Chain A
Amino acid sequence: MRGATHAKWAALATAVALAATACGGGGDTGGGGADGVVTSSWGDPQNPLEPANTNEVQGGKVLSMIFRGLKQYDPKTGEAKDMLAEKIETTDSTNFRITVKNGWTFSNGEKVTAKSFVDAWNYGAHLKNNQKNAYFFGYIEGYDKVHPDKGQPSAATMSGLKVVDERTFTVKLTQKFSTFPDTLGYAAFAPLPRAFYDDHAGWLSKPIGNGPYTVDSYSKGSQMVLRRWDAYPGTDKAQNGGITLKVYTDNNTAYTDLTAGNLDLVDDVPASQLKNVSADLGDRYINTPAGIIQTLSWPFYRPEFNKPGQEKLRKGLSMAIDRKQITETIFQKTRTPAKDWTSPVLGADGGYKEMCGEACEYNPAEAKKLVAQGGGIPGGTLRISYNADTGSHKEWVDAVCNSINRALGNNRACVGNPVGTFADYRNQVTTQKLNGPFRAGWQMDYPLIQNFLQPLYYTNASSNDGKYSSPEFDKLVDDANAETDTKKAVELFQRAEEVLRDDMGAIPLWYQNGSAGYSERVENVSLNPFSVPVYDQIKVK
C-alpha cells in the first residue's frame, strides 16, 4: 500500500518535471553553425500550397524555399537572373525558345525537364484546377481554350506550349511581350514533378520541389519543418540546416516570443510594437522598401467622377495629403511617401523615377485652388472606402481625411467609409459598388515596371478596379511590350506613367517597407524586394 503511494508520487514528480522542461527549455532548435536550424514566424496559408494557386505572402515564403524557376530575382537588386534557364531566345517578342539547364532534379530524384515546366503551366492555366494565379498564363496562345471566361474548357492544354526535346520547349504568346522572360521568376511558373499529378493529396500534405530546402514535415495550421537539401544543384545553397516555420495566432505573440528568445525571425513586426522595436532589437530590426505601393483609386465608372477637367480635382486632393507626417506618425517610418506609381525597388534602370513631383507634395494653398478649379468634390463629401478588419487602415484613412479637411478648410470634405470585412470590401470593389475613392494596395508579382502599370491601369485589365481608361496610356503600354530593347521598353512605360500622372488616374500614397526582426542567434538576415526573408542566406552563429 505504502509502496503504491510512493510510486504514485514518483510518477507525479516525473510528470511535473517533464512539464517544467517542456515549458522552460530547448525545443527543436538543433545546434549552431552550418547545421543550425532557424525558427521563423508564419501565418496559415489561405489557399492550398500549389505554385499557381498561391497569391499571398505566407504560402509564397514556402514556395521561395522549395522551388526554383527558370529565372530567380536577385534578393538585393530584384534583377531577373537565369536560374534553371540556360537560354531564352526570341526574335519577335512573341515566340520564345527556352532551354533548361542540365543537371537539375527534384528532391525526389526526378529530372527537371522541359516537360516539367510545360505540364505545370498547363495545369496552372486549366480552369478545372481552380488555380488563382491562372491569369499569369493568359498571354500564352490557347489560354482562352483551357480557361474560357464562360462555359467549359474546350482543350486540355495550351496550343502555345510545345516540348521540343528533353531540355527545350517553345512558348508562343498572343501578343508581343518583350519582358516575358523576366516574369518567369514568379512562383506560378515553377516546374512540377510527376508526383504532383500522380498523388495530388499526398503532394499537398508534403510538397516536393527543386529548391534549396525540402519539406521534412508539415502539420497544417501549426508548423512546417524545412531541411536543407544537401544534393541541391544550384549555386544558392542554404547556409543553414533548415527553417522551421511556426504559425502564430497573432503577430504580437510572435514578437513576444522573439524578445523572449524562443524564435529567431519575425518578418512582420506588429504596428503596436514599432515604438519599442529599436529598444528591443537595436540593429537586429530591418526596415527596407518592398515592391508594394498603396494608392487611392477613383471610381471612374461613375459619371460624377469621370468628367473632363477633374484631373485638377484629383491632383488638388493629392496635394492636400501630408504623406510625410502620416508615414512618420502613424506608420513609424515603415512606409515611404510615394513619388511615383511604381516602387523604388525597381531602381532607376528598372523604371523608377520620381515623376509625381509637386503633385505628391503637401501644399494646402495650391490644393484648395486646384480642387475649386476641378469643379469641387462631387456631392460635397469625399468618402474613402477601406476594410476595417485588418491592416489598421482606419488610422491612416482618418489621417488622410483630416489632412484633406484641414487643407480645404472644410470639416465635411472627407470622411472614411469602413467596410466590415476584407471579403465584403473586395466584393464591393470588384462589382463597382463604391461611389468614392477607395484604398488599393498592390504587391508586385515580379520587379518590372510593366507589373505596376499594366494590370492596374490598362483598359479593362485584371486589377483595374477603378476602370481607368486612356487610349494614349494603352497605346504606350502596347508599344512598350512590343519593344525588344529593354531600355527603350522601360522608357515607353515611363511615358505611359506620365499619361497616368497627368490624369492623376490614382493618387499614390506611400511605398510599404518590409519589416523584420531577428534574434542574436542568427546573422546575415535580409528581406528581398518582395519583403520575404532570404532564408537560404541566414547563418546560425
Chain B
Amino acid sequence: MGRYVIRRLLQMIPVFFGATLLIFLMVNVMGDPIAGLCGDRQCDPATAAQLKREFGLDKPVWQQYLTYMGNVFTGDFGTAFNGQPVTELMGLAFPVTIRLTVVAILFEIVIGIALGVVTGLRRGRPVDTTVLLLTLVVLSVPTFVTGLLIQLLLGVKWGWIKPAVSPEAAFGELIVPGLVLASVSLAYVTRLTRTSIAENKRADYVRTAVAKGLPRRRVITRHLLRNSLIPVVTFIGADVGALMGGAIVTERIFNIHGVGYQLYQGIVRQNTQTVVGFVTVLVLVFLLANLLVDLLYAVLDPRIRYA
C-alpha cells in the first residue's frame, strides 16, 4: 500500500509540470497582454515597456516559466493587472467555490443516492420510470439553460430567492446555485446507484442477510447499500475537481465571485499570472482528488490493491 501511494505521488510531478507549462504556453500564444490594458487606444511605448519589465513579460517564455515556477514554490503567484496579488484573489475566490462545491456534493450524495436506492429497489415500477425520465431530462438540458430558467422562475417571477448571490456568498444563498451545479452529476449518481443496487439485490449475501431474519432497513443500509456504493463514491470523488473547475457557467449566471469568475476575468484580460495561478491550484485539486479516489478504491476493495 505504501509503495502504491508513493508511486502515485511521484506520477503527479510530471503531470503537474506538464499541465502548468501547457497553460503557460497557451496563454502566451494569445499575444501581448499589455496591448489590451489601455483599451481602444495605444499604450504609450515607454509605459508599455515599463509595464512589461515589471510583469517580466520582456523575457523569453521559457525564462518566464522558470521564474514563475520558482516563485510558485515560495508561495508567490505574482500580481494581477489591477495590482492585487494573485494569492489574495485566490483567498477570495476559493472559499466561495469550495462552499459551492460542498453544497453541490451534498446534493449529489443525499438526493442522488436516496433516489438511486428507491429506484433500484423498485425497478420497473412507476417511481423508477419517472425518476429515469427525469434524470434523462436533466442530463440532456445544458446547465446554463437550467440555471437561467431557475433564476428567472425562482428569482424574478416568484421572488423566492435573490437572482444574484451577494459577495459574502453564504451557504443559504448557494443552495439553488449548488443544486443547478450538481444537477447533471446528480442524475449520474442516481443512475449509478440504481444500477448497482439492482444488481446487488440478488447477491448471495443479501439473501443470507434476509434469511437470517435481519430487519429490512438493516439489510438495505448495512449490506446492500454499503457494497453498492463503491462505483458511486469513485464518481463523486472525481467529480470534486470537475465541479470546482467547471463552475464557471453557474458562477456567471448567479453572480458568484468564485474561481470560475476569476478565471474568466483572467482569460479575457489575458492576465497570465491569474490564469496560470488558478489553473495550477485546480490541477493540484484534480490530482489530489484522483489520488484520494484511487486510494479509496484500494481501501474499499482489497482486490484492486494487489492487482
Contacts and interface: CB of A to CB of B under 8 A. Distances in A.
Interface string B55-97: 0000000000000000000000000011110000100100000
Given A424-B30, A440-B40, A463-B42, A22 B160 contact: no
Interface in A128-186: 128, 130-132, 134-135, 147-150
Interface stretch (B110-118, B221-229, B252-260, B295-303): B252-260
Contacts of B12: none
Nearest to A153: B46
Contact of B82 (A22, A47, A463): A47
B45 interface: yes
B126 interface: no
Interface in A441-482: 441-443, 455, 462-463, 465
A411 interface: no
A173 to B, nearest CB: 18
Contacts of B265: 44
A422 B256 CA distance: 24
Contacts of A422: 36, 268, 270
A77 interface: no
A130 B44 contact: no
Interface string B19-43: 0000000000011111111111111
Interface in B215-255: 251-255
Contacts of A428: 31
B152 interface: yes
A423 interface: yes
A260 B268 contact: no
Nearest to B34: A423
Interface string A415-430: 0000011111111111
B54 interface: yes
A259 B156 contact: yes
A181 to B, nearest CB: 23
Interface string A19-53: 11011100100000000000000001111100000
Contacts of A329: none
B34 to A, nearest CB: 8
A395 interface: no
A148 B46 contact: yes
A55 B163 contact: no
B268 A132 contact: no
Contacts of B38: 55, 132, 426
Interface centre among B34, B152, B172 (most CB of A within 10 A): B172
Q: How large is the interface on A (under 10, 10 to 19, 20 to 34, 35 or more residues)?
A: 35 or more
Given A127-B50, A220-B82, A22 B172 contact: yes
Contact of B164 (A20, A221, A256): A256
B173 A22 contact: yes
Given A46-B81, A48-B82, A427-B31, A24 B160 contact: yes
B42 A462 contact: yes
Interface stretch (A103-111, A244-252, A307-315, A368-376): A244-252
Given A46-B82, A422-B268, A135 B44 contact: yes
A392 interface: no
Interface in B129-188: 151-152, 155-156, 159-164, 166-167, 170-173, 175
15 contacts: A16-B172, A22-B172, A135-B44, A149-B45, A220-B84, A222-B92, A246-B167, A253-B253, A260-B162, A261-B159, A262-B164, A423-B30, A423-B34, A423-B36, A427-B36
Interface of A: 16, 18-20, 22-24, 27, 44-48, 55-56, 127-128, 130-132, 134-135, 147-150, 204, 219-223, 246-250, 252-254, 256-257, 259-263, 389-390, 420-430, 440-443, 455, 462-463, 465
Given A20-B172, A23-B160, A443-B39, 9 more contacts: A19-B171, A22-B166, A23-B173, A24-B161, A46-B269, A220-B82, A249-B261, A262-B164, A423-B32
The 9 residue pairs across chains A and B that have the minimum distance between CB atoms: A19-B172, A423-B36, A424-B31, A222-B167, A427-B35, A426-B35, A48-B83, A423-B270, A427-B32
